[in-house]
A and B are shown apart, each in its own frame.
Chain A
Amino acid sequence: MNTFLGMPATPPRSPYGTGNLRGDRKFPKAAHDELANGQLRRNLGRATSTIRTKRLVVTGELPDWEQLRDAGSAVKTDTMNRLPELLEQLEQKVTERGGTVHWARDGVEANEIVARLIRATGSSDVIKVKSMATQEIGLNEHLESLGITPYETDLAELIVQLADDKPSHILVPAIHRNRDEIRQIFLDEIPGVDPDLDNVPAHLAAAARAYLREKFMTTRVAVSGANFGIAETGTLSVVESEGNGRMCLTLPDTLITVMGIEKVLPRYQDLEVFLQLLPRSSTGERMNPYTSLWTGVTPGDGPQDFHLVLLDNGRTAALADPIGREALNCIRCSACLNVCPVYERTGGHAYGSTYPGPIGAVLTPQLAGMDAAKDDPNSSLPYASSLCGACFDACPVKIDIPSMLVELRHQHTEQSGASAEKLAMKAAAAVMKRPKLYTAAQKAAALGRVVGGRDGTITHLPAPFDGWSDSRDTAAPPKQSFRSWLASAEGAATLRAAAEEGVLPATDAHTEDQ
């Protein structure tokens, strides 16, 4: 209604309590348990360091890598600015080519649309290509509740599904599992698997091939996500490695693709940028083994019934935030996960969302909100970072994740009202503006030494600072502050000596360097 009155309304987040955009506890608590899992940390540490090295090699090969990043970033920003016209163009082109376009306000509506389309085919089974969007909306859970069996066909997604587990990485969702664990999952869960199956990755992959072959040959409906949707031509794209994507996109009679509205690209030519940025950032390969591009329906080739479901689910809420909207530029390469010192240690489950790691810590609160409930677990995500900036450096479309994290922390603090911590910070600001008062305060703080233990640390601060000390030790205040040392005879003598040695110029020259 507001639209008719000419007053823009803030779009809604993904509805609370739906889908997989929120964990059941806050990040520090979840991370604490994950960190205690030595196996997980070994698996993750090895995997992320391997992929970091590969990415650096193949991105270093391209002398125009930075120009590609600039182009990729600008294409995505331009896309967000022109989203209505691009989506309408995409819809028109897909329709012209024999496809049907559906719109979904949120995950619940998308799930209903997909289920209705599957039922219309009469099939009770569906094969699935790895898709972040359908993971986000909990499509599998919805289909199962209706008696429709979804078969994940990506190897890692299959492992996760068979183990009744959750993905822990955008690109390699079973990265938290090692070969012995995977062997056991296959022995327990794949009907008719060779009981002598060993833990060699090639043999495990062969077991998955044999199991899924029959599904590919007989299942009449597939569900996929999309990496890109080209407005100019109506072309959709799935980037993959194993060929399970090609199987799902080619063999069934009906294909249903669920795509977030932010995945649209203006021109076919834009693929020349993203087909360079994505594989090199993602798997550290010059190109992924398979990419499929299809435009509506092609007579005699592939599914003759094609549906595209365009999903909002909080994306428009992110778009309404001038800083947060940059999270929509993400192309799901997962380079930021692999370089993140926090992700590398906690793994993906601690984030509680389909989207883990640095991008997850900014995208999840944008899509689902972070204060939708009391003690919303998502409110802890912007703090799941040391703000080291490695994610920004690695991002192929230059998303400034650290700045977004800081902005989200600000928003969270603003939303949580007049806390005791906030009042204390105000008081600190007032004191720091007055040098005499500040010196006096520092002297008083030195009294804090009495609460420091033998190692000179304070493990539990009193309220309102207990939130700070939950996850950190605080150094006890020193006997003497730097300011009081500098003002002392000892401080003055040290400075003179340094000047004589030439370490410091005798004159106050250091300002000239600045």
Chain B
Amino acid sequence: MTPTARDTVLGRIRDALALAPAPATTVPRDYRTGRTLPDGERLALLTDRLVDYKARVHPCTADDTARVIAEVLAAHGARRIGVPAGLDEGWLTAYDGEVQRDSADIPAPGLDALDGVVTASAVSCAETGTIFLDGSPDQGRRALSLVPDLHVCVVSLSSVVVGVPEAVARLVPERPTTLISGPSATSDIELERVEGVHGPRTLAVVIRTDA
């Protein structure tokens, strides 16, 4: 019987390791983990990083979330927006445009017709200015936060951690996860950074400082 490609490749690997055996390795993890910082410092660090990426940052109190979201949408002329099915309805009470509650059967061109999207977020990393979306009901499927040209992302300060290890530790591996660090960008032409290629060209981050 001819061996399968799987058997052949695994056999080759075992042969290679038999020909060049190596001692077992232990991984030194002496880098920084488990860091914490007070609220004010995490807020300042995250804001600094996001602004560096040319994202818009709008700090507010939890009570003020709906008003700030409405202002941000109005400022970008967003008359028709998409939201994930599980987004807090209270966040949209001040918005007077059309809202499309997302569902999996809306095809991508149906998202392309939207002016923007509002989602929550799972975790954020202050040191790198990275927001993690994990497909929870208040964040929606991945296409929703990708296709529209404006992404208004709501971050609770309590979900902001200091570094990458602290953020990765909070993730659920099986969930489809997207890390977002600013609007889409390219440096492919003479290494000159251009914000906005295929993903949303505008990223507005609403940070709820007491939530």
- Residues of A with Cβ closer than 8 Å to B? 2-3, 8-12, 43, 46-47, 50-51, 63-64, 67-68, 70-71, 74-75, 77-78, 80-81, 83-84, 87-88, 97, 102-105, 109, 153-156, 159, 172-175, 177-179, 182, 201-202, 204-206, 208-209, 212-213, 216-217, 230, 232-233, 235, 241-244, 246-247, 249-251, 261, 268-269, 271-273, 275-276, 279, 283, 285-295, 298-302, 310, 312, 316-317, 319-322, 325
11 contacts between A and B (CB under 8 A): A70-B30, A81-B24, A172-B191, A201-B190, A242-B199, A276-B31, A286-B129, A292-B178, A294-B177, A295-B173, A316-B12
Contact A301/B104 with A70-B30, A216-B198 known, Cβ cut-off 8 Å: yes
The answer to whether the Cβ of B62 comes within 8 Å of any Cβ in the partner chain is no
Partner of B174, one of A43, A233, A241, A291: A233
Q: For residues 122 through 169 of chain B, which have their beta carbon under 8 Å from a beta carbon of chain A? A: 125, 127-130, 135, 141-143, 146-147, 164-165, 168-169
Q: Is the CB of B22 within 8 A of A81?
A: yes
Q: Is the CB of A71 within 8 A of B184?
A: no
Most A Cβ at <10 Å: residue of B27, B129, B183: B27
Q: A202-B194, A235-B174, A295-B175 are in contact. List 11 more A-B contacts (CB 8 A).
A: A46-B190, A78-B24, A78-B27, A103-B4, A155-B188, A233-B173, A242-B199, A246-B146, A290-B199, A292-B178, A320-B19
A-B contact count (CB 8 A): 275
Contact A302/B31 with A81-B22, A286-B129 known, Cβ cut-off 8 Å: no
Chain B residues near A156: list those with CB within 8 A.
Answer: 186, 188
The answer to whether the Cβ of B37 comes within 8 Å of any Cβ in the partner chain is no
Chain B residues near A246: list those with CB within 8 A.
Answer: 142, 146, 178, 198-199
Chain B residues near A81: list those with CB within 8 A.
Answer: 17, 22, 24-25
Q: Is the CB of B9 within 8 A of A2?
A: no
Q: Is the CB of A103 within 8 A of B9?
A: yes
Contact A242/B184 with A47-B190, A74-B27 known, Cβ cut-off 8 Å: yes
Q: Is the CB of A290 within 8 A of B179?
A: yes
Interface size range of chain B in the complex: 35 or more
Min CB distance A8 to B, Å, is: 4
Chain B residues near A209: list those with CB within 8 A.
Answer: 196-198
Chain A residues near B28: list those with CB within 8 A.
Answer: 67, 70-71, 74
Contact A243/B168 with A8-B15, A43-B190, A67-B28 known, Cβ cut-off 8 Å: no
User: Chain A: which residue is nearest B27 at the CB level?
Assistant: A74
Q: Is the CB of A271 within 8 A of B168?
A: yes
Q: 1/0 per residue B12-43: CB within 8 Å of A?
A: 11111111101011111111110000000000
- Residues of B with Cβ closer than 8 Å to A? 4-6, 8-20, 22, 24-33, 49, 52-53, 104, 108-109, 112, 125, 127-130, 135, 141-143, 146-147, 164-165, 168-169, 171, 173-192, 194, 196-200
Contact A243/B181 with A64-B31, A275-B168, A295-B174 known, Cβ cut-off 8 Å: no
How far is B17's CA from A319's CA once the two chains are assembled, in angstroms? 7
Q: Which 6 A-B pairs have the closest CB atoms?
A: A243-B199, A243-B198, A300-B104, A320-B16, A319-B16, A316-B12
Contact A10/B9 with A84-B14, A269-B168 known, Cβ cut-off 8 Å: no
Partner of A205, one of B29, B127, B135, B186: B186
Contact A105/B196 with A10-B19, A74-B28 known, Cβ cut-off 8 Å: no
How far is B134's CA from A291's CA once the two chains are assembled, in angstroms? 12
Chain B residues near A289: list those with CB within 8 A.
Answer: 53, 180-185, 199
How far is B22's CA from A205's CA once the two chains are assembled, in angstroms? 47
Partner of B197, one of A179, A208, A279, A298: A208
